C-alpha cells in the first residue's frame, strides 16, 4: 500500500498551475514568446518554463529594452541568457518624444515599453506573449485573465473579457489579435520570493539593501525609487514583506501620477 501523501503545499500547487498554463499556451498558440524584464517575477516565470519543458525554453525570450535599466540588470541578462541557453531577442523602444504626450511624464516614459513590444509583435508575428504580471501588484492587473486577448494595436478590452473557468483558457487566437498569457497571475509577491528562495533562482542584487535602501520593484532607473530597508538577503526580504503595509509598486512613479494613468497604460497594451 502506498503512503498517504499530504495535501499539496501551496508553492507546489502554484508551480504546478503555472506549468500547466505555460504548456497549454505552448501547445495551442503559434509563435509564442516570453517577456523577460530581468526582475524576480519574469525570472521566476522563465524558471517555471524550464520546469515545464525539462530544462529548456522552447520559444524566444524578449527583453523589451528601454536602454535605461540599471547596469547590474544588463550584466544579469548577459550571464543568464547564456547559462540558460535562451533564444534572447533584445527589443528596442522608441524615443519618448514619439509617445502620447497627454500621458503624465513617468507613464509616458513607461509607455515606450508597450510601444517597443507592439513593434516587435508586428515584426516577428508573435501570436502569444507570456508576461509575468500578478494580480496583487495593482488593481487593473487583479482583473486580468490568464489568457487575455489583445486586439489591434494591443488594445485590452477590459470591459468585455471572455469568461475563464475550469482552466479552459481562450487558447484560440482570432485573426489580427494576439494573446497575453499570464502564468503567475495568481502568485503574490511573497509567493515569488519564497519560490525564488526554495529553487535558488538567481535575482539581481538591487533587491537587497545597501546602506539602508533596496529596490522592491525594478523598472527604469529614472522612474523607480528604492525603499528604506535593512533587508540584505532573501530571508530578510521575506520577513520584511510579512510585516509591511506598503504596496510593492509604491516606488514606481507611473502608478501614482493620476488615478487612471496605469489603467490607460494597460488598456493600450502595457504589461
| Site residues for other proteins per CB under 8 A | 2, 4-10, 12-13, 15-17, 19-20, 23-24, 26-27, 47, 50-56, 58, 135-136, 139-140, 142-143, 145, 158-159, 161-166, 168, 170, 172-174, 188, 199, 244-247, 250, 259-260, 263
Q: Looking at beta carbons only, is 71 or 163 nearer to other proteins?
A: 163
Given a contact cutoff of 8 angstroms between Cβ atoms, the answer to whether 36 and 69 are in contact is: no
Closest CA to 144 of 170, 125, 118: 170
Least Å distance between CB 165 and other proteins?
4
Which ranges of the chain does DSSP label H, i.e. alpha helix?
A: 10-28, 40-52, 71-83, 105-124, 139-142, 189-199, 234-243, 261-267
Least Å distance between CB 107 and other proteins?
14
Residue 156 to residue 269: CA distance in whole angstroms: 6
Least Å distance between CB 239 and other proteins?
14
Residue 102 to residue 229: CA distance in whole angstroms: 35
Least Å distance between CB 62 and other proteins?
21
In the structure grid, which three cell numbers stand for residue 162, read together?
Answer: 471572455
Question: Torsion-angle region of residue 54: left (phi > 0), alpha (psi -120 to 50) or beta?
Answer: left
Q: Looking at beta carbons only, is 102 or 211 nearer to other proteins?
A: 102
Q: Looking at beta carbons only, is 4 or 95 nearer to other proteins?
A: 4
Residue found under cell 540584505: 232
Least Å distance between CB 138 and other proteins?
8
Residue 237 to residue 169: CA distance in whole angstroms: 34
Q: Looking at beta carbons only, is 71 or 245 nearer to other proteins?
A: 245
Least Å distance between CB 104 and other proteins?
15
Residue 33 to residue 60: CA distance in whole angstroms: 5
Residue found under cell 541578462: 77
Q: Looking at beta carbons only, is 153 or 172 nearer to other proteins?
A: 172
Q: Hey, which residues does 252 pair with through a beta bridge?
A: 224
Least Å distance between CB 194 and other proteins?
8
Amino acid at each position: 500500500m502506498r503512503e498517504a501523501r499530504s495535501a499539496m503545499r501551496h508553492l507546489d500547487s502554484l508551480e504546478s498551475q503555472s506549468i500547466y498554463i505555460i504548456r497549454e499556451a505552448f501547445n495551442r498558440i503559434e509563435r509564442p514568446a516570453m517577456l523577460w524584464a530581468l526582475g524576480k517575477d519574469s525570472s521566476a516565470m522563465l524558471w517555471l518554463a524550464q520546469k515545464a519543458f525539462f530544462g529548456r525554453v522552447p520559444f524566444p525570450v524578449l527583453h523589451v529594452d528601454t536602454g535605461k535599466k540599471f547596469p547590474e540588470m544588463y550584466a544579469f541578462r548577459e550571464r543568464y541568457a547564456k547559462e540558460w541557453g535562451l533564444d534572447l531577442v533584445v527589443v528596442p523602444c522608441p524615443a519618448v518624444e514619439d509617445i502620447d504626450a497627454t500621458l503624465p511624464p513617468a507613464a509616458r516614459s513607461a509607455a515606450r515599453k508597450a510601444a517597443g513590444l507592439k513593434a516587435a509583435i508586428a515584426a516577428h508575428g508573435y501570436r502569444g506573449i507570456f508576461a509575468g504580471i500578478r494580480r496583487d501588484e495593482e488593481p487593473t492587473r487583479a482583473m486580468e485573465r490568464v489568457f487575455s486577448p489583445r486586439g489591434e494595436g494591443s488594445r485590452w478590452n477590459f470591459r468585455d473579457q471572455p469568461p475563464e473557468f475550469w482552466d479552459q483558457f481562450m487558447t484560440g487566437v482570432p485573426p489580427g489579435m494576439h494573446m497575453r498569457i499570464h502564468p503567475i497571475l495568481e502568485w503574490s509577491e511573497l509567493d515569488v520570493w519564497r519560490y525564488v528562495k526554495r529553487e535558488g533562482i538567481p535575482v539581481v542584487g538591487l533587491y537587497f539593501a545597501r546602506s539602508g535602501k533596496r529596490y522592491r520593484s525594478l523598472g527604469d532607473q529614472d522612474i523607480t525609487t528604492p525603499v528604506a530597508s535593512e533587508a540584505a538577503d532573501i530571508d530578510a526580504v521575506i520577513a520584511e514583506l510579512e510585516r509591511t503595509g506598503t504596496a510593492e509598486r509604491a516606488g514606481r512613479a507611473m502608478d501614482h501620477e493620476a488615478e487612471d494613468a496605469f489603467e490607460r497604460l494597460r488598456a493600450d497594451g502595457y504589461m
